[in-house]
C-alpha cells in the first residue's frame, strides 16, 4: 500500500483528571492520559505544519470534562470528535513517584464516560483521518462488544487507505484476564501499520523473557514499521534497515510518566512529515528524554 499524505491524525482513548501528589497532603491537578499525552506532544511538534491533530473520546458534562476540553484547545488539539455523555463523568487518577522516578497509580474510572467509546449507539467515523493512534489502555477500558466495534472500524479505515499506529501500553488490572489481553493485543497487531510497543509491556503480556523473543513475535505479524521502546537502552527500529542511531543514557530520571507517550509523539510526528525511521527514532528519544527529567505527564519541552 502506498501511503497517502498524512494531514489529519486522530488519537483515540481516555483523557482523565490527574492528581499528581507533590508532597505530604498536597497534589497538583492536571489533565492527562496515555493517548492524550501523545496528542499534546504531537500537536506541539506539528504546530505550523499542515497537519491537524484531533482527540477522539467521550467526556461528561462535569466541570473537569470542561477543563479537559479547554486544555485540548489550548494545546491546539481539535475537539470536533469529542462526544459528551449525559450522565457519566471524566475519570480520575492519582499518581505518585518514588525516588527513582518510578510511578504508582490509583484510579477512579469505573463510571468514566470514555468507557462508552465505540458503543453501537455512537457513530465514531474515522474516515476523516489519515492516521489513527490508539493504545492497549484504550482497548482495555472497553467492554467486548465495543472492542469488536473498534476492530471493525479499523478494518474499514485501513481498507480505505488509512494507517493505524498502536502502542500495547499495558495495565494488567484493566483487563478481564491475561488471556483476554493476549488475544486482543494479537488482534490489534494484525491491524497495525506502525507498531510502537515497549519491550517491558510485551514481556508482561506474553510472558517472554528476551528482547529477541518479543521482536520475533512482533515481526511474525508482518510489522516492519515502528519502534521497540527499550527504556534506557534507547528505541530499536523495526525495519532492520541500516545501523540504529546511538543514544546517550539519561542519568537524571525524575519521573517516567509519559515517557512512552511522548516518544510515540516524536516518532509519529516525523512519519507525518514524511521523514525516515532514523529521524523518527531520534526525535522520539529526544522528546522522551526531556519528559522524564521533569515531574508530570505534560511538561515544557524543547521541540528542536
What's the rounded mean pLDDT across residues 20-47? Answer: 91
86 part of the active site:
no
Q: What is the DSSP letter of 78?
A: B
Angstrom CA distances, 250 to 25, 97, 211, 232, 254, stand at: 31, 18, 21, 7, 10
Query: Above pLDDT 90, what percent of the chain?
Result: 81
Q: For residue 242, what pLDDT is reported?
A: 76
What pTM did the predictor assign? 0.95
Q: Look at the domain 8-291 and name its fold.
A: 3.40.1190
User: Average per-residue pLDDT in the chain?
Assistant: 94
Residue 19 pairs in a beta bridge with 29, 94
Q: For residue 87, what pLDDT is reported?
A: 96
Number of Cβ within a 10 Å radius of residue 217 = 16
| DSSP of 232-301 | GG--EESS--SPPPP-PPP---S--TTHHHHHHHHHHHHHHTT--HHHHHHHHHHHHHHHTTSSSSS---
What's the rounded mean pLDDT across residues 40-52? Answer: 98
- The active-site residue, picked from 34, 130, 193, 261, is 261
Place of cell 469505573: 110
Answer whether 286's CB lies under 8 Å from 235's CB.
no
Residue among 270, 288, 130, 135 at smallest CA distance from 197: 135
Q: For residue 50, what pLDDT is reported?
A: 96
For residue 1, pLDDT over 50 is answered with no
171-220 residue pLDDT tens: 999 999 999 999 999 999 999 999 999 999 999 999 999 999 999 999 99
Q: What residues does each domain of the chain span?
A: 8-291
92-122 residue pLDDT tens: 988 887 877 677 888 899 999 999 999 998 9
Amino acid at each position: 500500500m502506498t501511503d497517502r499524505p498524512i494531514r489529519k491524525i486522530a488519537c483515540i482513548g481516555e483523557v482523565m483528571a490527574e492528581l499528581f501528589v507533590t508532597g505530604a497532603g498536597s497534589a497538583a491537578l492536571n489533565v492527562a492520559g496515555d493517548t492524550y499525552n501523545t496528542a499534546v506532544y504531537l500537536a506541539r511538534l506539528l504546530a505550523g505544519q499542515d497537519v491537524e491533530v484531533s482527540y477522539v473520546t467521550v467526556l461528561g458534562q462535569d466541570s473537569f470534562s470542561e477543563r479537559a476540553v479547554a486544555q485540548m484547545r489550548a494545546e491546539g488539539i481539535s475537539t470536533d470528535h469529542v462526544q459528551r455523555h449525559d450522565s457519566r463523568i471524566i475519570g480520575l487518577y492519582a499518581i505518585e513517584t518514588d525516588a527513582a522516578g518510578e510511578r504508582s497509580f490509583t484510579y477512579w474510572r469505573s463510571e468514566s464516560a470514555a468507557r462508552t467509546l465505540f458503543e453501537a449507539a455512537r457513530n465514531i467515523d474515522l474516515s476523516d483521518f489519515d492516521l489513527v493512534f490508539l493504545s492497549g489502555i484504550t482497548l482495555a477500558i472497553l467492554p467486548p462488544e465495543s472492542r469488536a466495534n473498534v476492530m471493525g472500524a479499523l478494518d474499514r479505515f485501513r481498507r480505505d487507505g488509512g494507517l493505524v499506529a498502536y502502542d500495547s501500553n499495558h495495565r494488567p488490572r484493566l483487563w478481564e484476564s491475561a488471556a483476554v489481553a493476549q488475544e486482543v493485543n494479537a488482534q490489534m497487531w494484525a491491524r497495525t501499520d506502525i507498531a510502537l510497543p515497549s519491550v517491558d509491556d510485551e514481556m508482561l503480556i506474553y510472558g517472554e523473557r528476551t528482547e529477541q523473543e518479543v521482536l520475533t513475535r512482533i515481526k511474525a505479524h508482518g510489522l516492519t514499521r515502528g519502534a521497540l521502546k527499550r527504556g534506557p537502552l534507547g528505541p530499536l527500529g523495526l525495519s532492520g534497515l541500516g545501523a540504529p542511531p546511538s543514544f546517550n543514557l539519561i542519568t537524571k530520571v525524575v519521573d517516567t510518566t509519559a515517557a512512552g507517550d511522548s516518544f510515540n509523539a516524536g516518532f509519529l510526528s516525523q512519519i507525518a512529515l514524511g521523514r525516515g525511521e532514523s529521524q523518527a527514532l531520534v526525535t522520539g528519544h529526544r522528546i522522551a528524554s526531556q519528559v522524564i527529567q521533569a515531574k508530570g505527564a505534560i511538561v515544557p519541552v524543547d521541540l528542536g
